[in-house]
Amino acid sequence: MSDAALDVVEFLLTASLYNDNRALDENDLPPRYRQVFWPDGAAESTGPDRPGSDDSPLGIERPIRPTIETARRATGVENPWSAISGLMFTDRDEFSGSLELTQQDMAEEWFLDRGEQRVIHNPVLAYAYEDEVDGADYEAARDANRPVQADRAWIDGLLAQYFADEEEEEMLDLVDIRAPEEIETTLDDLVLTEDQEAEIHKIVKAIEHREYLAQIGLREIGKLLFVGPPGTGKTSTARALAYDLDLPFVEVKLSMITSQYLGETAKNVEKVFEVAKRLSPCILFMDEFDFVAKTRASDEHAAIKRAVNTLLKSIDNISLIQDDVLLIGATNHPDQLDAAAWRRFDEIVNFPKPDVQMRADILRLITRPMDIVDFDPDELAEETEGLTGSDLRMVLREAVLDALTEERTALTQEDFVDAIEDFEERDNLKDLDMIEGDHDALVAGGDISGSDASADGGHGHDH
């Protein structure tokens, strides 16, 4: 029997068992199934409380009804009915497109003979067959299942409910909210220092043991500050942590609080923290944290200063242990932070420019899917002193594009050497002191005059 039939029967069996067992809630449904049963107006059926609570209706109402369309979306099987139409225990309603198991016992026997391993990873099936399948552990399967709070539909439902007021909707311009499934980078995709790995490991353990930390009174934990030059992986690491921990990722650039479109800035800062608490457990990532110190030391408008003071108070009043919010700040300019900013964080994580070994490891990592002749990342690492991980990705981009102009997808070591030289040349251009009115240096050959021609030529080298 094909895997397609197993996929569809697992889906139908999961739906049937979920409908019959009221002890199960949405966190027991595998995310790929759950996503097809969210109502279009998720906000209408989700309350501020967690799914399955007595105070709030479930976001996905029972009974869930499998159809050919939901089966297709949940399993990836293009023709679900064709895959199972030859089985004696299945049927469909041609008018509604619904699918069903006509003989549950026969379906269960058929599935368990062929798909025991699937039971281990599916909490609904593990709950039903824990005593029948070796290795099936309901609690373990549920713990490994991505929680409902990480679903895009759940996030959108809460936001739509919380920001129903049209004036409050503009506050969402202040934040970028991503579900874990929308983050493309994992921690395995990054090259980290030993210190960075150690700090991440500690925070993961703190998240796992929040109840114990609360019990012993250790509440001031879970506020990290990432410091280092641009391109060293601060944002990527924060996002990857959200992906690996199945946490929604709430990102705010602090300079945005000065936007003229956002109304009362202090109020909007408070809203950011309210959003994070609503979406908890989550990661709240605050970029450009040096903006706080710049504002406090300057003659900025009083409303902006109030917003910054509100921000510092809000940081004091949020906690990983009490609120399930991991707070991560990031700055490219730690030298500009004052004592009031520093003391808000219990851990400082340094993101230096990569050393030669890290550069070689980064090159190996980002070139994994590529075909490269005579590739020597150690040699390239020696030639890229001072480049960040972001810079190395730009080098890779240039090497690939240059090869494509020659109709090649296989790269050579020489392609990378040339790309490094081109990158350094471009980098040097950024450091040129341009004197007003003297634009000829930006024009190839330097022999084109006239303001229009000079201006046009000035944009061609900024990739």
Q: State whether residue 230 is helix, strand or coil.
A: coil
Q: State whether residue 427 is helix, strand or coil.
A: helix
Give buried/exposed letters for 240-263 (b at 16+ CB in 10 A, else e).
Answer: bbbbbbbbbbbbbbbebbeeeebe
Tokens representing residue 108 in the block:
């269960």
Q: What is the pLDDT of residues 232-262, one digit of tens each?
A: 999 999 999 999 999 999 998 877 766 544 4
**Contact present, 373 and 387 (Cβ < 8 Å):** no
**Contact present, 144 and 121 (Cβ < 8 Å):** yes
Percent of the chain at pLDDT > 90 equals 58
Backbone torsions φ then ψ of 42, nearest 5 degrees: -55, -30
- Runs of H (alpha helix) within 2-103: 3-20, 31-34, 42-45, 68-75, 80-84
DSSP string, 333-396: -GGG--HHHHTT-SEEEE-PPP-HHHHHHHHHHHTTTS-EET--HHHHHHTTTT--HHHHHHHH
**Contact present, 271 and 236 (Cβ < 8 Å):** no
Q: Which residue has the tokens 């029972």?
A: 62
Backbone torsions φ then ψ of 216, nearest 5 degrees: -95, 5
**Contact present, 320 and 222 (Cβ < 8 Å):** yes
**Contact present, 330 and 233 (Cβ < 8 Å):** no
For residue 174, the model assigns a pLDDT of: 73
Strands 175-178, 249-253: parallel, antiparallel or unpaired by DSSP? antiparallel
Gyration radius of the chain's alpha carbons: 27
Q: What is the pLDDT of residues 30-42, one digit of tens each?
A: 999 999 998 764 4
Residues 153 and 36: their CA atoms lie apart, in Å, by 10
**Contact present, 390 and 396 (Cβ < 8 Å):** no
Residues lower than pLDDT 70 in the chain:
1, 40-58, 164-171, 257-265, 293-301, 303, 429-463
For residue 323, the model assigns a pLDDT of: 92
* Domains by residue range for the chain, with CATH: 3-147 (no CATH), 163-350 (3.40.50.300), 356-430 (1.10.8.60)
For residue 299, the model assigns a pLDDT of: 59
Q: Is the dihedral of CA 135, 140, 146, 149 positive or negative?
A: positive
Backbone torsions φ then ψ of 443, nearest 5 degrees: -105, 130
Q: What is the pLDDT of residues 412-442, one digit of tens each?
A: 999 999 999 999 887 776 655 544 444 444 4
